[in-house]
Structure 1
Amino acid sequence: MSDALLNALAEALAGLVTAVETSDEEVLDPDTAVKWLEQTGHAFAGLGAADRRALDVLFREVALRQPPGAWRDELAQVSEEFGLDQDDHHATLDTVAEAARRYADTVRRADPATPVPTCPGWDLGDLTRHLGTVHGWAEHLVTARPATRVRPGDLALDPPADPLARPDWFSARADGFTRAARAADPDAPVWSPGADPSVRHYPRHVLAETLVHLADAEIALTGTACPLDPGAAADALDHFLATAPHVPWLAEPLAHLDRDGAVLRLTARDSRTVWTLVLGGGGFTWSRGSARGTPTADVTADAGDLLLLLHRRYGADDARFTLTGDRGLLDDWLAAGGL
């Protein structure tokens, strides 16, 4: 692709985005504007670090080519508004570190023998050993960067036999992962259990695991999970949907639902994020934003609660969720795709 074409595309896209953002409510419905911009932002979020930096440069050059004034000032904000000038890899690691700290604080002051009802057969000591193993396994992968699968059981992660010692061991494993991932090139190739065979996969993977197991610990101790950050929960839900088609024990049951053409929509009240899942073709496809028409089933809740619903930490009958349409579709999805 020529530089002239890239510059023209960048100028057209930056201009369109700015026009949407600055449109009067009487010209463009605000909810429609949000959906359009959210879809664009989601597409940008899927780019690698090098491509995001390149797009940031193109957008800034578009602004600089305009004469001084309000339009130029608005164009100059496009990269910032979509986070193209930020390093998502390190921002995600900051969120992982905070979630890990919160998990350690939760279990450190609890009886490790407390049963975890959302993980049948486990107690808090088992849960902490598992989550520490996830962090240690991910540290090995971003450091050694193997090209083929490495199972956690292949590594000498040495979880303590004494359950009381596991919170500190977990904290050390979590610190080790975040340090290793910060030091690694996020675009470096490495085997992953998903669509993105790069180091960048693992902060999102570990974040999703940590958020869900934090909720497990809180539910075990209080009966309910504390609210999750909407942005972090939305990213974890993205990660689950992107990874599921590549995990056989998730993909195969979903492929046999026999609901081709059915549409499941998930709507987050707090983040205003919408996910549209279309079943068929031996699996499903998904996108951010609402598809045209009425979905077969719609579920509305906060982003964190939707994440926990898909992981079957809450039941669909819980008052957190507002359901419309075909309840059977949601039940079928949860039976096939739940963790």
Structure 2
Amino acid sequence: MSDALLNALAEALADVVTTIDTCDDDVLDPDTAVKWLETTGYLLDRLPPADRRALSALMRRAAARQPDGAWREDLLRIPEGFGLDDDQHELYCDAVEQLTRRFVETVRDVDPATPVPSCPGWTFADLVRHHGATHRWMEHLVRTRAAERVWSRDVPLELPDDPKEYPQWLARSAEATLRTLRSVDPETPMWSHGADRRVRFFPRRLHFEAVVHLADAELALGLEPRVPAGTAADGIEEFLENLPYFSWLAEPVGLLADGSVRLSAADTGAGWTITFGQAGFGWTKSAAEADVGVEATAGDLLLLVHGRHRPDDERFSVVGDRAVLDAWLGATAL
């Protein structure tokens, strides 16, 4: 792509965003404006850090070409408004830190023998142990810059004898993981069990481990999980991007008959269409025609994708062939 085209696209985007942001309420409905800007922000969040910084520079140069005045100042604020200069690796690390703290606070005083219904057969002790073991495993992988698979069972856990001490053990494990992640260049190549074979894969994966397992704990305690729309949308895509690399999911999905599922986020307007069958697994970020469609908030869709909610819950609107949806959810059950 030529520099001229990149500059033109960046300038056009900056103009459109500023127009939406400064438009009078009687010209553009504020709720519509917010939805458009949130969708744009979400798409920009998904860019690699280098691309985000490059886009920030292009937008600032576009603003600099404008005469002094309010319009130029509004254009200059766009990169900061969308967080284009933020470090995505560090943002994921921060999110893991915050969610792990919330998880530990949630489970600290719960009887370890309490069942976790969203993980059949598990107790709180099992849930905390699993979460901590994942941290231990990923910390080992990144610290050693693993070039090939290392099985989690081969990583020492240093697990306390008393399950009541598991929450603090998890907290210590997460602290070690985050120290390691923050000390390494996220672009460093290494083995991973997902699509992205770089260090930056791991804080994103840990982020959604934390999101889903916090939801497990909250659901077990009768609480309603609240996943922000942007986080949930990123989580849905993280799941779909990595599914072909997770053998325990890819294999049953590969056996499915031809079908398609549409996920529609009622709160943001985002959509995803998933296809599977003889032509193989695929997905697009669009709400296209499909055999079955599911609509709910992005947060609820994320928990549906991860098997923490069921589609017959009243929070979901399902249209089309329910058998196709059930087959998909059955194949992707974790």
In 2, the alpha carbon distance for the partners of 1:296 and 1:19 equals 38
In 2, the alpha carbon distance for the partners of 1:273 and 1:83 equals 21
Q: 1:196 to 1:41 in 2, by over 3 A?
A: farther
Spell out, residue by residue over 1:17-41, the C-alpha distance to the aligned partner (whole angstroms, 9 max, x if none): 4445556678778787667655654
Task: Indicate yes or no: 2:293 matched with 1:308.
Answer: no
Aligned partner of 2:283 in structure 1 is 285
In 1, the alpha carbon distance for the partners of 2:290 and 2:74 equals 36
In 1, the alpha carbon distance for the partners of 2:266 and 2:178 equals 28
Aligned partner of 1:197 in structure 2 is 197
Aligned partner of 1:276 in structure 2 is 272
CA RMSD of aligned residues (A): 2.6
In 1, the alpha carbon distance for the partners of 2:165 and 2:136 equals 16
The DSSP-based 3-state class of the residue aligned with 2:319 is strand
Does the 8 A contact of 1:268 with 1:306 survive in 2?
no
In 2, the alpha carbon distance for the partners of 1:278 and 1:232 equals 19
Amino acid in the other structure paired with 1:258:
A
Aligned partner of 2:313 in structure 1 is 318
Structure 2 residues without counterparts, runs of 5 or longer: none
Does the 8 A contact of 1:52 with 1:84 survive in 2?
yes
Q: After TM superposition, give the deviation of residue 108 of structure 1 in Å.
A: 1.3
Q: After TM superposition, give the deviation of residue 124 of structure 1 in Å.
A: 1.1
Question: 5 Å matches for 1:179-328?
Answer: 179-220=179-220, 222-260=221-259, 262-269=260-267, 272-280=268-276, 281-287=279-285, 289-291=286-288, 294-328=289-323
TM-score of the aligned structures, taking structure 1 as reference length = 0.87
- Give aligned pairs, total: 332
Q: After TM superposition, give the deviation of residue 16 of structure 1 in Å.
A: 4.0
TM-score of the aligned structures, taking structure 2 as reference length = 0.88
Q: 1:47 to 1:228 in 2, by over 3 A?
A: closer
The DSSP-based 3-state class of the residue aligned with 1:193 is coil
Amino acid in the other structure paired with 2:241:
A
Pick which of 103-112 and 21-30 moved more: 21-30
In 1, the alpha carbon distance for the partners of 2:319 and 2:29 equals 24
Spell out, residue by residue over 1:282-305, the C-alpha distance to the aligned partner (whole angstroms, 9 max, x if none): 002131x534xx554332333332
Question: 5 Å matches for 1:127-146?
Answer: 127-146=127-146
The DSSP-based 3-state class of the residue aligned with 2:301 is helix
In 2, the alpha carbon distance for the partners of 1:207 and 1:41 equals 19
In 1, the alpha carbon distance for the partners of 2:266 and 2:148 equals 36
Does the 8 A contact of 1:181 with 1:203 survive in 2?
yes
Identity of aligned residues (%): 49
Amino acid in the other structure paired with 1:227:
R
In 1, the alpha carbon distance for the partners of 2:145 and 2:269 equals 33
Does the 8 A contact of 2:39 with 2:270 survive in 1?
no
Structure 1 residues without counterparts, runs of 5 or longer: none
Task: Indicate yes or no: 2:174 matched with 1:174.
Answer: yes
Spell out, residue by residue over 1:155-209, the C-alpha distance to the aligned partner (whole angstroms, 9 max, x if none): 1122223211211100101111122222222222222222211222111111111
Q: 1:268 to 1:196 in 2, by over 3 A?
A: farther
Amino acid in the other structure paired with 1:153:
R
Amino acid in the other structure paired with 1:276:
W
